Chain A
Amino acid sequence: MNAQVIYNVPHQIAFGWAIAMYFFFTGLSAGSFFISVLVRLMGLTAYKRLGRIAAILAPVLLIIAPFFLIADLEQPARFYRVLIYQNPTSPISYGSYLLTLYPISAVLYAYFLFRDEIKGSWVYKLGGALGLNKADADKLTYFFGVLGIPLAVAVHGYTGFIVGIVRSRELWNSALMPVLFLVSAMVSGIALVILWSILFDRQHVAENRDLHAGLGKVLGGVILVDLFMVLCDVLVLLAGKAEARAAVQVLLSGSFAPYFLGVEILAGGILPLFVLFNRRLGKQIGWQAIASLLVLVGVLAMRFVLVLGGQQTPLS
């Protein structure tokens, strides 16, 4: 291979850190929402308290997320145009409608979940003014919970399509992407709920250690699925075209290897697995907190590795 590029012009990287952060926040939101609704639909009364935390986190995180997107635009003042003009082949186009609908549904879900407990507050009065206080709260919680699941799948799944349909980038162009995004969303969502409850609901956690250890094992299970999918992705890329192999080498031995192998896989996947499935450590609140934090850092690293690492191999 006796050829060497001796001159070429630099090319800008299209998607930067803000896009990675946006993926991270929509993932956290979708993951939290799944937990909250699953707890309710499956009648897991023991986890009700965690489900309530998740119900609040989901809309809050998703209201934060689009600000990263808008901040990343070169013309932020023109952001509203994504809702005016449509292009059915562009995930950013249809995704912007999902990004509008899902938070509304998630806010309504949380409102009806808490409505009967917040009587007298300004939120309740606001809800009354909007005509939300007449109907049966239980039924509407159920309704918006069930409606929210496909919306949450869509709102995070579509972010997977944003990268998945880009055929020029070998690391992105995979049907695994939307599914991988959803699985990693579950991972980060569960980790966030565990960490949040340990930090801000300490007494309840202390009284229900077994409950938390159980959730930790669920987290471990989802991490295993996530790691398996990443393994499949890497193995197929390694057997792929020259460009695919070059793209995956960026993660395995190139500039992103420390973030991929070190942070995403080892610190964010394998180490937490040892803690969560360990009979002794898995029940200790401190270790659970450390494991969840590592998992969150790992998923954040995954977003950065995919978005930035996926653009490292030059196209021209």
Chain B
Amino acid sequence: MDHNAKPSTLSDQSTDLIRQVTESPTTRAGLLKAVGLAAVGLAGAAVAGKLGQAVPALAETPANAKTTVRLAMVIDLRRCIGCSSCSVACKQEFEVPEGVFRSWVKIVEKGSYPNVRKVALPRLCNHCDSPACVAVCPVQASYKADNGAVLIHYDKCIGCKYCMAACPFDARFINPETHTADKCTFCVHRVAKGENPACVTTCLAHARTFGDLNDPNSEVAKLVGTQPVQVLKKAMGTEPQVYYIGLDEFLESENGKGGFGFFGKEGGK
């Protein structure tokens, strides 16, 4: 892994902290030193420490370089048991109204009797690097935040629903209470506190991993770097930042004769 990759931080809080205790890492040794120092500082902050997976990035930037965080999630479908507790945690976190979902689990039955298997696909906004929803928003209400999350200025949204029509992943909906577009926010309010998103914290199978892809030491960066990860509808070219392990198997039919329609048949609404 390239240790000269752009260093980054997960939250503003940790950024400030790290600035105080590190120096510019121009060499590999320097970077490691910075990482070590920052880790010590963070342990003291006791914010990130209690959440094993949510360890923020740990290196200081060269003086004039832009600090970049690239939030991402990895979902290991081999671990997912389809319990939908992620959906429940998300509902609770945001008090998502009835009938709409920021996070949900699609359950599919595969094979034919007696070789039948149930598989689950947890879903959320993909927080694409090239988001189709942001491209079509006529009033700049949808935007790609600096940390990589795709977010909505709720006070700017006019509710034209073009983003909903354009999203290839059905991630968006109209919130029946606020009457604007709404969707998963990657729990940026929790991330700012150094916590993991609600769905990640609650996942009892530890299928979800969240963190900063630009931080080579983060769990997500390691998983994306070492595991065969896939994204949904890669051909759409939106560059999703929710990665799946085992997605190809999910999409394939049991007998191996081509994939079944991930998109489903008509009437799925």
Interface of A with B (CB < 8 Å)?
1-15, 72-75, 78-79, 81-82, 84-87, 89-93, 96, 162, 165-169, 242-243, 246, 249-250, 254-255, 311-316
Contact = CB atoms under 8 A, between A and B. Distances in A.
A6 B158 contact: no
A3 B136 contact: no
B263 to A, nearest CB: 5
A255 B236 CA distance: 26
Contacts of A91: 136
A243 B140 CA distance: 30
A167 B266 CA distance: 18
Contacts of A12: 100, 164, 173-174
A249 B258 CA distance: 20
Interface residues of B, number: 57
A5 B263 contact: no
Given A4-B108, A167-B132, A246 B139 contact: no
B136 A6 contact: no
Interface in B148-180: 156-162, 164-171, 173-174, 179-180
Contacts of B159: 73-75, 78
B122 to A, nearest CB: 12
Closest 4 CB pairs of A and B: A74-B159, A168-B168, A314-B268, A3-B260
B266 A255 contact: yes
Contacts of B236: 167-168
Interface of B: 99-101, 104-112, 118, 123, 132, 135-140, 156-162, 164-171, 173-174, 179-181, 236-237, 253-255, 257-258, 260-261, 263-269
Nearest to B162: A92
Nearest to A2: B112
A250 B107 CA distance: 24
A7 B107 contact: yes
A314 B263 contact: yes
A167 B261 CA distance: 18
A14 B266 contact: no
Nearest to A316: B170
A85 to B, nearest CB: 4
Given A2-B253, A5-B264, A246-B266, A82 B174 contact: no
B161 A246 contact: no
A10 B269 contact: yes
Given A89-B136, A96-B138, 9 more contacts: A1-B257, A2-B111, A4-B109, A74-B160, A75-B159, A85-B139, A87-B136, A91-B136, A168-B165
B105 A81 contact: no
A82 B135 contact: no
B52 to A, nearest CB: 30
A243 B265 CA distance: 9
Nearest to B265: A246
Nearest to A1: B260
B253 to A, nearest CB: 5
A221 B75 CA distance: 56
Given A2-B111, A74-B161, A93 B138 contact: yes
A96 B112 CA distance: 53
A12 B137 CA distance: 18
A72 B159 CA distance: 8
B140 A250 contact: no
